[in-house]
Amino acid sequence: MTDPFVTPQDATAAAAIAAIGEELDLFDDWMQRYQYIIELGRTMPPFPAEWMDDAHRVPGCQSQVWLEMTARDGVLFFAGASDAAIVSGLVALLLRVYSGRSAEEILATDSGFLRDLGLVQALSTNRGNGVEAMARAIRHAAAQVGA
């Protein structure tokens, strides 16, 4: 079985946010950015079907979103999936920032970057609320581990 957990491609959460911002800036409009985000979702590791249940579901999302976390040597790794293409891409963005980080780094990385990048404003209200709910779920899981 392929490891469903996302490994970081950037050295820090801040570096991931900066890289995402640079990548989004390459596109002229939000339709192109949406297509890029959808493509990101397609690069996610396969999410085990047995985790697509209520225990893994993120509340507050219009689409169905599932998350799982594991700790390895003091570092938290996340796996995620959604039943909607654009939301899968948003999950991929969040996991690029948060997966493979310590609980301390996750908690120190406020989800305000989603607004700073213009993502929340460019989405429908329900999707914007949903992506913020995903970030809250990730930060809550990190807080539980760090407690």
Give catalytic residue positions.
61
Instruction: Look at residues 17, 35, 19 and name the one whose alpha carbon lies nearest to residue 122.
Output: 35
How far is residue 138's CA from residue 141's CA, in Å, rounded to a whole number? 5
How far is residue 73's CA from residue 57's CA, in Å, rounded to a whole number? 26
Structure-token pair, residue 84: 């909607």
* Helix, strand and coil in the chain, % to nearest 5: 55, 10, 35
Structure-token pair, residue 22: 């640079």
Question: Which contacts (CB < 8 Å, 24+ apart) does range 55-61 have?
Answer: 58/130, 58/133, 58/134, 58/137, 59/133, 60/129, 60/130, 60/132, 60/133, 60/136, 61/87, 61/130, 61/133, 61/134
